Every structure is written in structure tokens, then in C-alpha cells.
């Protein structure tokens, strides 16, 4: 006996009696149930070779006897009903049919989805082929462009390599020139340092000179003020200077006269010398006819004339030196008078 709890979905006796002699529904082929001996009924736990006590112990779900000809007892909380094996088979058949129908609808829906997915897959494959073709064309074009750019780049690299060699040689030359320039700059820096020291020294010296000039300017200004205050001293100083210049002019004129006299005396002595030279020449020619007394007289006369010539030369050189010294003194005196006249605002030309 098998105890089956009755629920609200359990079939009624009329339904069971009507379905006892009902033919079994033909099941449709379901690929999900291929190679399975029981199909959808494999989910129903049918147990064989077990005793009733083992089947009924500890279970609330329906269990069935292994023999189809024995009676089945169903119990619930209110009543206990006994079903025959045919009724149980009918109930199982109905549940199996509904399960197969549900699985068939699900399978049909899945097949429809697979067909739609296949159509979408075909469209996707067409798009993929066109995209791959476009990609291949673009790749081919890009490869050709890359090859052209590569050739152009190689040519540029070669030209740049040549330019790099030229630039390297120029850089080497510039490096050597830079080293020479740096060595020259070291010398120039030393010169600049020396000049800077000299400039600082000259600056200090110029500042000291400026201060000295300021002091002298102040002193000169004071002198000018004192000179301007004494107008009468200007005329006295001017007269004294004029008298001094006149005296120097008289001395110079006297020296000129003495110089003229000395020159005339030198000319006379030169003439006498020429006469004596002629006489000496005549004496040389007639030396054999001269006596010792005449020769001595002529020699003494020549020595006397020579001594007089030396005295006149010495006097002439002294006069020239004195004349030169007087001219220098007169020039210095005139310069001092001019400076003093400029300081005193005196016009010497008037």
C-alpha cells in the first residue's frame, strides 16, 4: 500500500473513472529526451525492489508499489482513498502529456529563437565579410602608403645623414674656434681686469684732481675778487710789464748789433785767412827759397790769426746762446703776462 496525501489538485473519482478506459495520448518526438529510457518520467522517483515500509518511511510525497496490479492507498489529514493501478497510470499519463506539451512549446520557442538567431548570424556574417574586405583594402592601401613613406623616410635619413656629417665637421671647427676664443677671452679678461684696476685708480685720481681743482678754483675766485677790488694795481702792473718788455727789447737789439759786429769781424778774419792760405800755397811752391826767419814769421802770423778766429768763434757761440736764452725768457715772460692779463681782464692789444 502507498499513502498519497490528497491535495486540492488531486483528481476526483469521476475524473478517475472517466480516464480509466481513455486511450493513451501519442507523445511527440522530443530531442531532449533522446537516448533516455523513460523520457520526462525520469524525473519521477520510481523505486523498485523496496519494501512498503522502506517506501513509506519518512516521506510525504507520493510513492507507488512496484506491482501495477496491487491497490494503492492514499491518505490525507481528513480521509484515506484507495486508487487502482489504472487510475494511477491515468494520472501519470495526464501529467506526462501536460509536461510534454509544455516542453514542446518551450522547444518550439527555442527553435524559433534559434532560426531568428541564425538569420541574424547570416546578416552579421555578410556585414563581417564586407568589413573584412574593407579592412583588407584599407590595410593594403596603408601598407602601400607605409612603403612609400618608408622610402621617402630612408631618402630623408640619407640626406640628413650627409647634412649631419657636414654639421659635425662644422661643429668640430666651431669647437676649435670656441676653444681659441675662450683662450683669447682669458687674455682679454686679464686685460679687462688690469684696465679695471687702472680705471679705478684713474677714477680715484680724477676725484682727487677734481677736489684739488675745486680748491684751486676757490683760491682763484678769491684772487679774482681781490684783483677786482684793486683796479689801480692793474695799470701799475701793466706799466711795469711794458717797461720790462722794452728793456728786454733793447737788450735784444744790442745783442743783435754785437752779433752783427762779430759776424763782420769773422768775415774779415776769414778773408785774411784766405789771403794767408794763398800765401802758404805760394810759400809751399817756393819753400826752397824761404829762410828760417821768414818761415817763422809766417807761422807766428798764422797762429795769431788762428787764435783770433777761435776767440771770435767762442764769442759768436756765446752771443748766440745768450740770444736764445733771452728769447726763451721773453717768450716765458710774454706767456705769464698774457695769463695774468687774462685773469685781470686786460686787453694788451689796445
Q: Is residue 197 part of a domain?
A: no
Cell numbers at 217, concatenated:
678754483
Domain that holds residue 103: 13-123
Q: Is residue 220 part of a domain?
A: no
- Domain endpoint, select from 100, 123, 146: 123
Q: Is residue 153 part of a domain?
A: no
- Domain endpoint, select from 123, 145, 175: 123
- The whole-model pTM stands at 0.22
Total tally of structural domains belonging to the chain? 2
Q: Is residue 242 part of a domain?
A: yes
Q: Is residue 300 part of a domain?
A: yes
- In this structure, are residues 277 and 306 in contact, taking their beta carbons and an 8 Å threshold? no
- Domain endpoint, select from 92, 123, 154: 123
Q: Is residue 291 part of a domain?
A: yes
Written as tens digits, the pLDDT of the chain (350 aa) is: 344 444 444 444 444 444 444 444 444 444 444 444 444 444 444 444 444 444 444 444 444 444 444 444 444 444 566 778 888 888 888 888 888 878 877 878 888 888 888 888 888 888 898 899 998 998 989 888 888 888 888 888 888 888 888 888 888 888 888 888 788 778 777 887 877 777 777 778 777 777 877 787 788 777 767 766 666 666 666 676 677 777 777 777 777 777 777 777 777 777 776 776 676 666 556 555 545 555 566 566 666 666 666 677 777 777 777 777 777 877 787 777 777 767 666 665 55
In order, the DSSP letters of 134-174 are HHHHHHHHHHHHHHHHHHHHHHHHHHHHHHHHHHHHHHHHH
Q: Is residue 247 part of a domain?
A: yes
Which residue bears the cell 515500509?
A: 53
Per-position b or e across 26-52, b if 16+ CB within 10 A of its CB: eeeeeeebeeeeebbeeeeeeeeeeee
Q: Where are the alpha helices (DSSP H) in the chain?
A: 13-18, 52-56, 85-229, 232-285, 292-343
Q: Is residue 49 part of a domain?
A: yes
Amino acid at each position: 500500500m502507498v499513502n498519497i496525501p490528497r491535495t486540492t489538485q488531486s483528481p476526483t473519482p469521476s475524473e478517475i473513472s472517466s480516464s480509466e478506459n481513455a486511450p493513451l495520448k501519442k507523445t511527440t518526438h522530443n530531442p531532449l529526451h533522446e537516448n533516455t529510457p523513460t523520457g520526462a518520467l525520469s524525473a519521477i522517483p520510481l523505486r523498485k525492489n523496496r519494501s512498503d515500509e522502506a517506501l513509506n518511511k519518512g516521506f510525504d510525497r507520493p510513492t507507488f508499489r512496484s506491482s501495477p496490479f496491487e491497490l494503492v492507498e492514499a491518505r490525507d489529514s481528513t480521509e484515506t482513498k484507495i486508487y487502482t493501478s489504472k487510475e494511477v497510470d491515468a494520472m501519470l499519463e495526464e501529467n506526462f502529456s501536460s509536461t510534454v506539451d509544455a516542453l514542446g512549446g518551450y522547444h518550439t520557442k527555442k527553435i524559433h529563437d534559434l532560426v531568428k538567431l541564425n538569420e541574424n548570424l547570416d546578416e552579421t556574417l555578410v556585414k563581417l565579410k564586407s568589413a573584412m574586405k574593407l579592412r583588407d583594402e584599407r590595410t593594403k592601401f596603408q601598407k602601400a602608403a607605409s612603403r612609400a613613406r618608408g622610402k621617402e623616410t630612408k631618402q630623408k635619413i640619407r640626406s640628413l645623414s650627409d647634412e649631419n656629417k657636414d654639421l659635425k665637421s662644422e661643429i668640430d671647427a666651431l669647437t676649435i674656434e670656441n676653444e681659441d676664443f675662450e683662450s683669447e677671452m682669458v687674455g682679454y679678461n686679464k686685460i679687462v681686469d688690469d684696465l679695471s684696476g687702472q680705471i679705478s685708480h684713474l677714477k680715484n685720481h680724477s676725484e682727487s684732481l677734481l677736489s684739488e681743482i675745486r680748491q684751486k678754483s676757490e683760491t682763484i675766485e678769491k684772487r679774482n675778487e681781490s684783483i677786482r677790488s684793486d683796479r689801480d694795481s692793474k695799470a701799475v702792473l701793466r706799466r711795469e710789464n711794458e717797461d720790462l718788455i722794452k728793456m728786454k727789447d733793447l737788450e735784444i737789439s744790442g745783442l743783435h748789433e754785437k752779433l752783427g759786429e762779430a759776424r763782420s769781424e769773422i768775415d774779415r778774419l776769414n778773408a785774411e785767412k784766405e789771403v794767408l792760405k794763398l800765401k802758404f800755397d805760394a810759400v809751399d811752391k817756393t819753400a826752397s827759397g824761404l829762410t828760417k826767419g821768414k818761415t817763422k814769421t809766417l807761422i807766428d802770423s798764422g797762429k795769431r790769426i788762428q787764435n783770433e778766429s777761435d776767440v771770435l768763434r767762442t764769442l759768436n757761440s756765446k752771443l748766440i746762446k745768450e740770444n736764445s736764452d733771452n728769447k726763451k725768457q721773453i717768450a716765458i715772460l710774454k706767456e705769464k703776462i698774457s695769463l695774468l692779463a687774462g685773469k685781470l681782464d686786460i686787453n694788451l692789444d689796445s
